[in-house]
Structure 1
Amino acid sequence: MTGSNRFAERLTSENAVFASIDHQTGLLVGCRDIDPTVLKSNILGLAHLARILDLPTVVTSSVATGPNGPVMPEISDTLPDARFIGRDGEINAWDSPEFKRAIEETGRKKIIMAGIVTDVCLMFPAISAVAEGYDVYAVIDASGTWDAAIRDAAVHRMSQAGVKVATWASVLAEIMGDWRSPKGRELGELMSSRLTSYGWVVDGFTAHGAS
């Protein structure tokens, strides 16, 4: 997959793997570029998306016994069948042989990736994976960092390297493709429950007796 085709080919539930990078409780506390409550909801929306679609999933942590803390328990609860990988040294998850092997073993070349913090835990493996031929979707609203300036710098650097910067709702819509798809209703309900503004749209629709 080269040239413009790499940017045009759509995500599907058959060609993608989800990588949750260092969504740890200690790191979550320090995120200030997005409201922490909204960030947590977006992270869990992405996790539920992976579960609904039965995407191969890899979840990592970095020095979980230190100040970074453990992986958010809601992620473990939502994705009990994910492959969990703890790193004790490597800052860039792509430098972890176990993480890289877990991605390779899925046989999939599109990686839906999110992480805390955006400018390290997400950016470094996203750029590294692209350099090795993977098509990475960096889900920016399910990632967080210290402030907006740092986030924007990370977005620019990832974009320059060929990483696709996305949102969790756009990933959901791209994979769903059609409201009439087998998972359309379930995915629509997920979007309604996690995106307040879309929930209001649905509430208004159902209030008028539609179903």
Structure 2
Amino acid sequence: MPNDAKSQAGANRLSKENAAVLLVDHQTGLLQMVAEYKNNVLALADVALKFKLPTILTTSAETGPNGPILPEIRAKLPNAPFIPRPGEVNAWDNKDFVKAVKDTGRKKLIIAGIVTDVCVGFPTISALAEGFDVYVVVDASGTLNKDIREAALNRVQTAGAVLISWVSVAAELQRDWRDHGEILAEIYNEHVPEYGNLVTSHTAASKG
């Protein structure tokens, strides 16, 4: 790989020092359409919490049918700035939200939300246009059906977003198991049943 390509690849890596998390419109009403994503959303919130990433929470018209933000998210991140948008569909159209994002001082934005094609797609494209690097967490974002999901992800990827899973976000932030790897293990153990089973088997074998 040429040196300039290597340098660019290294610059694109997420770290605890360069990334911020945006959780957009994970609201109780919207979640009814994509309930299977709840564990992944809470896992991403745990990643933000455990790795101490600046995190911005926002909702849109929460007094209407969209409902309030998931209480579990607020409970995990009680000190995160929370921007209840009065009506803007695109979170990036809300000046308080954009200010909160820019106040983090981070240029790499890890974003997830409901629904993928609107709540994630619109601010992703807007942030990319302003020079941010945006990582869309596909398994912590949901929408109505597979066709819409694929179209939405294709649109943001074409615009320049990186598609990623919450498991990959956590691992990329961790980088080395020897650097307090118990943090990553704790998150995986809670949110990935298969990993929990692996831990149980390893513990049993070690005691045996």
TM range (shorter): over 0.9
Structural mapping, 1:189-208, within 5 Å: 189-208=186-205
Q: Distance in 2 between matches of 1:180 and 1:125?
A: 36
In 2, the alpha carbon distance for the partners of 1:17 and 1:6 equals 20
Give distance in 2, aligned partners of 1:116 and 1:106: 23
1:6–1:135 CA contact under 8 A, matched in 2:
no
Q: Secondary structure at the match of 1:209?
A: helix
Show the counterpart of 2:19.
16
1:30 aligns with 2:33: yes
Q: Secondary structure of 2:206's partner?
A: coil
Match of 2:177 in 1: 179
3-state SS of paired residue (1:10): coil
- The CA distance in 2 between the partners of 1:173 and 1:159, in whole Å, is 21
The CA deviation at 1:118 is 0.5
Q: Deviations over 1:3-42 (max 9, x none)?
A: 96665421111111110000000000012xxxx24x1111
Normalised to the residue count of structure 2, the TM-score between the two structures is 0.93
Inter-partner Cα distance in structure 1 for 2:109 and 2:8: 13
Matching residue's letter, 1:180: R
The total of aligned residue pairs comes to: 202
Specify the alignment match of 2:56 in structure 1: 58
Question: Which residue is 1:114 aligned to?
Answer: 112
State the 1:77 CA deviation. 0.2
Match runs of 1:17-166 below 5 Å:
17-31=20-34, 36-37=35-36, 39-166=37-164
* Separation in structure 2 between the aligned mates of residue 125 and residue 77 of structure 1, nearest angstrom: 25
2:27, 2:8 → 1: CA distance?
31
Aligned alpha-carbon RMSD (Å): 1.4
Instruction: Give the C-alpha shift of residue 181 in structure 1.
Output: 1.1
| Structure 1 moving runs of 4+ over 2 Å | 3-9
What is the one-letter code of the residue matched to 2:201? Answer: G
Q: Structure 2: state its 5+ residue gaps.
A: none
Q: Distance in 1 between matches of 2:134 and 2:9?
A: 10
